[in-house]
Amino acid sequence: MINNSFNGKYKSFVFAVFISCLYWTGINVNAKNADSLNEKSLYSETTIKGKVALTGKRAGKAKLEDVFVYYLPEESSMMLKANPLAHPLNIKMKNKAYVPRVSVIPAGSEIRIENADSILHNAFSPSRPNNFDLGLYKKNSGKIQRLSQPGVVKIFCNVHYHMVAYVLVLDTPYYSRVNKDGSFEINNIQLQNDTSLNKGKLFLWHERAKKVVKKISLPLTGGLSLDLPITKRRIPEHKNKSGKRYKKKRRSRRY
C-alpha cells in the first residue's frame, strides 16, 4: 500500500516537471522568435550599381574588366567579414606570364601558384604584410600561400622581370569585378532603418591607376558614373627578391 502511494506521488511529480519544462521551452522559443523578428526588422538590403570609364592617355591599353569596385561601410556594426575561399585560387605561370594577371580574394584565403612552363620560375611578393617567397621550382602542380591581411599583393618572378600579377585582398564581402562594358553591380548590402548609419566609401581599383575613393550614402537613388584615370605603366619598376636589379632587365614599354 505504501509502495503504491509512493509510486503515485512520484509519477505525479515527474509529470509536473515535464509540463513545467514544456512551458518554459515554449517561452524560450517564442522569445527567440521575437528576437529574430526584431533583428530582421532592423535591416534591409540594397544594391550599388554603376558604370566605370577609363580615362587618360594610357586608357586605350587598359582593360575595364580588370577594374574592381568594393564598398566599406562607415559604421563598424555594419561591417561584415568575408569568408575565406574554400579552395585556393589557382594562378598559373604560363608562357612567362601569370594567368590570371589580376584577381580578388577575401582575406585569409589561399592562392596556388602553378608552374606550367618547362623552365624554372621563382614566384615572390615584396608586398608586406603578405610578402612571401616560394623559391625556385620547375613545372609542377603549384605551391600554396595564404594571404591573411587586406591590401594589394604584387607578385613577381625572380627570374623574369616582366612577369607580374596582382591579387587584391579584401576584408569585405561587398565587391564586384567590372564588366567589359564598364558596368558593375554589388548586391545584398545590409542597411539599417536609421539612414544616418548607412554611409560608407566606394573604392575603384585597377593595377594601372591610383585608387579612387568616393563617399556615398545608401540607398542610392540611381546608378553611379565613375571615371578612373590610367596613369601607370603595365610593368611596374621593381627589384628582385634580394632587393637588387635584375641582371637582364627588360624595361616596360612606355604606354
Cβ contact 190:172 at 8 Å: no
Instruction: Determine the pLDDT at residue 103.
Output: 98
Instruction: Determine the pLDDT at residue 5.
Output: 52
Cβ contact 183:69 at 8 Å: no
Instruction: Determine the pLDDT at residue 192.
Output: 86
Instruction: Determine the pLDDT at residue 78.
Output: 74
> Quick count: other Cβ atoms within 10 Å of Cβ 57?
10
Beta strand extents in 160-198 (DSSP E only): 164-170, 175-177, 183-192
- Specify the DSSP class assigned to residue 252: P
Instruction: Determine the pLDDT at residue 228.
Output: 98
Burial call 217-232: b when 16+ CB within 10 Å, e when fewer = ebeeeeeeebebbbeb
Instruction: Determine the pLDDT at residue 87.
Output: 97
Fold that domain 92-147+155-170 belongs to in CATH = Immunoglobulin-like (2.60.40)
pLDDT per residue over 188-232, tens digit each? 999 988 888 899 999 999 999 999 999 999 999 999 999 999 999
Cβ contact 202:224 at 8 Å: yes
pLDDT in tens, the chain (255 residues): 445 554 555 555 545 544 455 444 454 544 444 444 344 445 789 999 999 999 999 999 999 999 999 999 998 777 788 899 999 999 999 999 999 999 999 999 999 999 999 999 999 999 999 999 999 999 998 999 999 999 999 999 999 999 999 999 999 999 999 999 999 999 999 998 888 889 999 999 999 999 999 999 999 999 999 999 999 999 999 999 999 999 865 544 433
Grid coordinates representing 86? 574554400
